[in-house]
Structure 1
């Protein structure tokens, strides 16, 4: 009787999770001699994946998420893993099972009851979300864009606000406030301007003239994780677009009509977005004794194993890894998550063969921010052809930014399928509207 294959359960289908499932499926899930080396399961409450760094485009309406999504069922069938719908809520490390919440449809009707799923090796890659810091009114009155559903919901609200503005008097304004001037907040600010420019090209009125967009940041400057030269260039471009950038400004309360700052200022904005801070999902804080930090991230070792369980791994935004000799943990970026997924795919294959796990070594590939169709700025990392720290802008920076997504597709689909997707994108852009107008 054949032995049961080692079961590897990956929770979370973001940039790290879907890459890991795809790579492990190719390496370990393909049946050879009648049986695979391992059974690979990907667990996610959504049925498809969209690259999180593009959610600001979905929110602004300049990206059709239906065209860009990766179906987990299709990806699994082509790359020898299984998709398992569900949302993790708990863990029993002694029994080696995870708990999944009941699955309901959009009308709240239960489709599947609460369940348990066993594992031999568990990888948690559930990402992160914005942190409201307990500020009154944020959850009630602000939009978030941490998921595709949230981004699409914001876009629907944005289009409604645009219609109200167009139907109002000539002096009516479109007031928007975005809190958090990291990459998400900065790129969303520029992408909204881009969307209104595109809409004007279809005869939807001169909306840019009416836009009053305020970007609020608590820190002394925007894009704190990026080099200062990149941040300064991005701030100049935002101001050229008409965005009001407030730094050193702390939001202390939010109501239906405005943001309230600590210094007494009131920023009127019926449409508000919260993109500040990061924190991992709340259930990680009570995950059967695993060690977490204040942001709820799971503490991991350089091997990507959690600090208290050799059979439980974590990667990406939900993982806290402080490299030896460093004062800051690994940043919460898709670049880090994908590199961790690549290493863990090799490492787990070695582990099943009785070899030790390698330690993670991050290779900084640079930092980039794209400001809609206007401009892009960045700094090349050690992988850059022009040398570490080289400042780039304009068309070259925009091309480099786009190449990050193309590399993401390459890892998921392989060269030939990726090439077909790239050609399809070019054909679609030649005839499809550049912004969602219906």
Structure 2
């Protein structure tokens, strides 16, 4: 028996104890300093439990378990819903300080009904037999124009004909005016971004030409929840606004949002995707963001009522009482996600949609496929990325984002590494009471 190559072993933050976790056997334990030393030295007095939990394993048996888990992962993914993004426009009424689509061309944006019809023909042919739903994306899909309203109404009607639900990603400025239309449809959720309260948000997400947006977005969120429309509130985080997140949390709690079952939250890290950020110093790495969040939550524990950061698999373990299945692939592109835009082009995901050179085919004026490029996306997981082969974090990382990997390393079959061991070392003491710790 040897130590499993999938063991994750790390000292917990602000603790003398350690976490030992194996995502393949789906086991996790807190080790005392004494037991941790025995484990490190490979001299465990009673290894019975370590063997039973897969921390000590026969290599042949572990390889068999790995293959079976991989086949189960692929089978489960084939049964998952596919999220299909549709971008009717890259135009937007906001001038966000960190917009990665700022350089996108929307001069020939016609938003004509033929494109919407072609989008649904693509759905009917390319994803026939798959469970799916539509997410209307932008740009800004809820603009104050008859063209925007007409295209959304057409999408909702055609989705209803196919019994498909629809999500909408919006800046929220015109949300209140769209409530009657949205209330008539099967809306899965509306994602709205608030980066803080009042001026904190307004200086990051103003109108084009200037102008505050916070108060009007809040009215839209209130109206949506009152109409029974689920809200997914997103905050885009960097060093500029992270210190103000507790204020946003308190605002949401006081507003009654966090007590509403239709309300949920997410944090998005501001990072360089396609176009250069003007102020690189304000950007967090993955680990530095979670380190700052850790300190923020320790000082403001009520923040967890507003949002629970994932900290790799920690949040899942806390909420479900068990570890998730092994993650062989964290990139949904072309497997459970596609993105199509008004130019008639098809892309793998929202991180690539609209970027020149990332097209995987067309849906208008005709359907076409770049099969070789699509196959490269479809084949990408930890079993096809050479750097993942001997990494003990592979089944909690999943290889990361293919678009980011391609941007930084030049090829899809390269990793976008995620420091899941460091995240676990913070998440475990944040969500669980550790014996002997204060």
TM-score normalised by the chain length of structure 1: 0.25
TM-score normalised by the chain length of structure 2: 0.25
